[in-house]
Amino acid sequence: MEKITERLLNWASILDENARAQAVTTSTMPFIHPHLALMPDAHLGLGATVGSVIPTLGAVIPAAVGVDIGCGMIAVKTPFVREQLIANPKGLPELREQIERAVPLSAGGANNKIVATAEPRVAELEALAAEAGFDPASRAKRWRHQLGTLGSGNHFIEVSVDETDAVWLFLHSGSRGVGNRIAGHHIDVAKRLMARYWIALPDPDLAYLVEGTEEFDRYIAELRWAQHYALLNREEMMDRVVRQLAEWMGAPFDELERINCHHNFTEKERHFGKEVWVSRKGAIIAREGTPGLIPGSMGTASYVVEGLGNELALNSSPHGAGREYSRSAARRTFTHEQLREAMAGIEFRDTDAFIDEIPQAYKPIDRVMEDARELVRIRHTLRQLVNVKGN
């Protein structure tokens, strides 16, 4: 751990100067308590650094939560082993295609109808929205039909095996269009308030909402709804992936374990003697014994972990590998052939649309996990057999 300033602690051994400077700027906000914690996967973000844990007294910075509210991972351990999948005459390409048919992919993707498994989840979200006093359709009209959809970018669905050859299902997604619109709306509200009260900021994306105000209460209500939407979105997709694997294997199965965790969210917690709002922008909760998921980049290892409860890190850990190249820089730097080489032995949709997700665009996940040795213990190391992504 590196103490950059009195209010900024860093666990990242790979940290570019722009990300470091951004984190220093965020840590100077007057309501940070006691300090900002940078995770091993930290990299430049909007307003606040991705991979940062930001505890605040009496205020929340909407951009420090991020625009994909509640984004996170879910994993299921199955009773199958690697050899059973490899021996299946249907082949892994058919399994990938079945998953792609069951889960709408890519930005803007939506279901044609609300399927039976989604109906009770939609009803639950409708009730929660009524309780929160807002209509999600005022933010995104298709929110019901996007429940159970993946999105694009670094969101993925994977079939992997651990060190014992046990088969795991693993996916990464968030609150889709509705979460993005909720976040964008409240970021704009915060910026307008800063302008109204002549509050100067070191970065306009550090605009904040003050606890006890109507604007703060409205944001927290919609934020919590979006966080739950993201969790149920992952549950809905995972149920479909489980069903597709069972059909492909020709045998229903009981799950051995299921883990679902956010990495873009805000919760009220107690740290260093005070109640604070902890915004984890690209970080997961890692309290002592708490299970968590840390995916690597496309084509590399992912990890099932258990928290160590490091209080200096505000009981947090990294959420993934963390980018070293921006998407545009990755597309300028790497080639389709290099992507194929990186994905050797993994069934994936072979297209140059994924060049910006090539593993070389990210920090080495083994380096990130070494940096996180004070934050989590590794329970399982997962290696991919099948990868599904949206363009």
Report how far residue 128's alpha carbon sits from residue 121's, in angstroms, rounded to the nearest whole number.
Answer: 11
Q: Which of 271, 319, 336, 380 is catalytic?
A: 319
Q: Are 293 and 261 contacting, i.e. CB atoms less than 8 angstroms apart?
A: yes
Close Cβ partners of 109 (under 8 Å, ≥ 6 residues apart): 146, 149, 150, 151, 390
Residue with tokens 């009770």: 120
Which amino acid type is present at position 370?
E
Q: Are 105 and 391 contacting, i.e. CB atoms less than 8 angstroms apart?
A: yes
DSSP three-state, residue 244: helix
Q: Are 147 and 122 contacting, i.e. CB atoms less than 8 angstroms apart?
A: yes
Active site residue 33: no
The radius of gyration of the chain from alpha carbons, rounded to an integer in Å, stands at 20
Report how far residue 121's alpha carbon sits from residue 114's, in angstroms, rounded to the nearest whole number.
Answer: 10
Catalytic residue ranges: 319
